Amino acid sequence: MIDLVVLAGLIVGYALVSGRVQRTSLTAPMVFVTAGLALGPAGLDVIGGPVTESTVRVLAEVTLVLVLFTDAARIELPVLRREYHFPLRLLAIGIPAAVALGAGTALLVFDDFGVWEAALLAAVLVPTDAALGASAVFDERLPVRIRQTVNVESGLNDGIALPVVLLFAAVAGTAGSGAGSAVSWVEFAAEQIGLGVLVGLVTGLLGGWLLTRVDRAGWINATYRRLAVLAIAGLAYGGAELVTGNGFIASFVAGLSFGFVARSQCPQVHEFAEREGELLAIATFAMFGAIIAGPRLADMDWRVVAYAVLSLLVVRVVAACVAMAGTKVTWTTMLFFGWFGPRGLASILFGLLVVEHAGIAVADEIMVVTSATVLLSVYAHGISAAPLARAFGQHANRYPATAPERSPVTEHHVRNRPT
């Protein structure tokens, strides 16, 4: 009970000064991760005693299911295909480049990693969390196309990276245990990924269509319309797990398909993301600091720290530059996209999934590296976001009107916009 009391007290305390904090370089993830580190077993040992990593995983899973659904639902697919060349390149080219570069770096840094374990670590650290560097999507001094590129990429890459993580985990686990064959890997991909996509597609399309029809007919009130949207995300997750598919993939695909057929219902999604979703996210960051990162601080040797730094400063930046090559944007823009790839909620959960996957010999080490990278990202991106966004905004607004960075694009909804 003390954990709940302390966490609730932290949230109330932060809420009372949130407006003032918003005008500084502090971010909510920085505050709650720091509180978790200070109050957890590695610090004052006030919270975290009866709480296990399994409990944190449940919290992280619920949070990620809803974040995957809401982030995907706010993306307008027809607009994305027509106007969003930049984020599509960062996703289609940047993700494979980041996995390849990250895996190669891991093989150089860690002696006990095989090829599949190195690729798995790289995939765990691919998804980005724009909330850690919020100024990159909120600061209106930045050109709209720049802000929306960061926003859209962050909204989609966790759902796209997840099948890669699952596949590499299956291969690494099979190789580590000496069991299984290529056939078992194909079966795994078909069941987890294929069924997840199928269940998510059906749930999102059918749920969105039904909700739109009954809303137009006046059969549903505002309260239950909002609850129904959240229930669709849960239905996709549970339905996929029930048929041995992957619930996270189903939630992501359900969000995409729901947003496609029920655009008029998406304000309900936005309301959740900016209220209950934020509550779940900050609670997860606090528990991450207390239960996951804190106890692993002693295991973060120079190799772990070196990889975390290289992941943020080299792997992500080079992958972004490769993805943006040929677009005629400036090197400054490429570096901006490269830096604003913070690691957050998705990497935390992906790391926990790896820990619980049987047969991966270096699972604990992957979680240590993931924790170090997320910790570094929380502080580095939180502190640098506002000044870098301000400086780049001033620089980019001197670009000619014909510059690709200043091309007009439709604005997708931004999660957790300050008010």
Packed helices 363-396 and 115-124: angle between N→C axes, nearest 10 degrees: 40
d(CA 372, CA 320): 22
Give the pLDDT score at 242. 93
Domains of the chain by start residue, with CATH: 52-406 (1.20.1530.10)
Give the pLDDT score at 280. 87
- The 10 Å Cβ neighbour count of residue 417 is 12
Stated pTM of the model: 0.90
d(CA 73, CA 20): 31
Give the pLDDT score at 419. 46
* 193 close to 162: Cβ distance less than 8 angstroms: no
d(CA 231, CA 242): 16
d(CA 406, CA 419): 25
Give the pLDDT score at 184. 67
d(CA 296, CA 376): 14
Closest CA to 342 of 10, 31, 30: 30
Closest CA to 167 of 371, 362, 350, 364: 350
* 117 close to 172: Cβ distance less than 8 angstroms: yes
Give the pLDDT score at 147. 86
Identify the helix (H) or strand (E) that includes residue 82: helix 77-83
Q: Which long-range contacts (CB under 8 A, 24 or more apart) does 112-117 make?
A: 112/361, 112/362, 112/365, 113/362, 113/365, 114/172, 114/175, 116/168, 116/171, 116/172, 116/175, 117/172, 117/176, 117/360, 117/361, 117/362, 117/366
d(CA 402, CA 398): 11
Mean pLDDT, the chain cut into blocks of 10 residues (419 residues total): 86 90 86 94 80 80 88 79 82 96 97 94 94 77 86 87 88 64 63 90 94 87 82 93 91 92 74 74 92 94 97 96 92 94 91 82 94 97 90 87 80 56
d(CA 125, CA 311): 8
Give the pLDDT score at 189. 66
Closest CA to 205 of 235, 247, 170: 235
Give the pLDDT score at 44. 87
d(CA 102, CA 35): 30
